[in-house]
């Protein structure tokens, strides 16, 4: 067994049962996200996200050690072979930031990935493992406006209402304009009935 293979096996064994569970379940769900390990795809509410290979690998590393710190060295070993010469710190930072961006997360107020200063990163939500996909329920995301939560669905409904009212207003305005033009035409161009003098 070569040195690279044994170090990979040792790190796999050190990860414990959670790694085995993550590797044997096809689907992993956390929050609105679902990971399909067989297809190596991540989706949010049924919409596929574009995650590059290393970004996907960081997500798997965090899921496998949910609640525990995944050190920067663990990520470096997982993402780059020992003979690769890159700026590991900058590349780990960039890769984790790309993952946060794809998940809609931030380092200031983490929903999914927490930075542990000078150590690494931690997945702060508990993933669920399954062999069948979870049914997708489309929920409009909520936005905070003036301290109140408003959903995209409510905004869309208001927009549709105003569009409908605008169309009805245009139709009524057109009908009134048509009636006015007809009336004007009748009074100006129609012959006056005999016996009436104006």
100 and 132 inside one domain: yes
The two three-digit tokens of residue 109, written as one number = 């107020």
Cβ(4)–Cβ(81) under 8 Å?
A: yes
- Based on the domain organization, do 103 and 195 belong to the same domain? no
Q: 79-93, 94-108, 184-198 — which one is most confidently predicted on average?
A: 94-108
- State whether 133 and 147 are in the same domain: no
Radius of gyration of the chain (CA): 31
Query: In the predicted model, is pLDDT for residue 167 greater than 60?
Result: yes
Which residues contact residue 12 at a Cβ distance below 8 angstroms, ignoring those fewer than 6 apart?
19
State which of 93, 122, 139 marks the end of a domain.
139
Among 88, 118, 139, the domain-final residue is 139
Same domain, 149 and 191: yes
Q: SS3 for 24? A: helix
Question: Higher pLDDT residue, 32 or 10?
Answer: 32
Which segment of 80-89, 126-135, 148-157, 164-173 scores lowest on mean pLDDT? 148-157
Q: With a cut of 90, say whether residue 137 has pLDDT above it.
A: no
Res. 58: pLDDT tops 60: yes
Domain membership of residue 130 as a residue range: 3-139
* CATH at 25: 1.10.10.10
Looking at the structure, tell me whether residues 18 and 57 fall in a common domain: yes
Q: Same structural domain for residues 117 and 175?
A: no
Average pLDDT over every residue of 127-133: 84
pLDDT 10s digits, 153-162: 566 677 888 8
Of the three residues 121, 139, 157, the one that is the final residue of a domain is 139
pLDDT grade for 121, boundaries at 50, 70 and 90: very high
What rounded mean pLDDT belongs to the chain?
A: 77
User: Do both 90 and 184 map to the same domain?
Assistant: no
Residue bearing tokens 């794809």: 102
Q: For Cα atoms 62, 63, 65, give the angle at the middle one, nearest 5 degrees.
A: 70
Instruction: Give 63's contacts (C-beta < 8 A, 6+ positions apart).
Output: 22, 28, 30, 35, 123, 127
How high is the pLDDT of residue 46? 85
Cα gap 156→150, rounded to integer Å: 11
| Mean pLDDT confidence for 173-183 | 90
Of 110 and 17, the structure prediction assigns the larger pLDDT to 110
Beta bridge partners of 71: 120
Q: Do residues 159 and 198 share a domain?
A: yes
Quick check: 97 pLDDT over 80?
Answer: yes
Q: Specify the number of domains making up the chain.
A: 2
- The answer on 100 and 160 residing in a single domain is no
pLDDT at 4 over 50: no
- Looking at the structure, do residues 109 and 29 belong to the same domain, yes or no? yes
Backbone angles phi, psi at 25, to 5 degrees: -90, 135
- What is the band of 11 on the pLDDT scale with cuts at 50, 70, 90? very low
- Both 98 and 162 in one domain: the answer is no
On whether both 96 and 177 belong to a single domain, the answer is no
């Amino acid at each position: 067994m070569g040195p690279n293979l044994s170090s990979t096996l040792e790190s796999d064994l050190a990860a414990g049962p959670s790694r085995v569970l993550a590797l044997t379940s096809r689907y992993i769900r956390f929050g609105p996200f679902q990971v399909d390990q067989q297809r190596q795809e991540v989706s949010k509410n049924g919409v596929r996200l574009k995650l590059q290979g290393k970004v996907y690998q960081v997500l798997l590393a965090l899921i496998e050690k949910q609640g525990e710190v995944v050190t920067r060295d663990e990520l470096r070993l997982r993402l780059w072979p020992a003979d690769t010469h890159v700026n590991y710190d900058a590349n780990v930072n960039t890769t984790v930031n790309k993952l946060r961006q794809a998940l809609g997360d931030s380092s200031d107020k983490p929903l999914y990935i927490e930075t542990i200063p000078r150590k690494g990163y931690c997945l702060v939500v508990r993933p669920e493992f399954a062999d069948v996909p979870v049914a997708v329920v489309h929920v409009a995301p909520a936005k905070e406006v003036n301290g109140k939560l408003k959903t995209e669905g409510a905004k869309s409904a208001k927009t549709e209402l105003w569009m409908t009212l605008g169309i009805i207003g245009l139709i009524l305005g057109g009908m009134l304009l048509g009636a006015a033009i007809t009336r004007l035409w009748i009074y100006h161009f129609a012959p006056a009935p005999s016996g009436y003098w104006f």
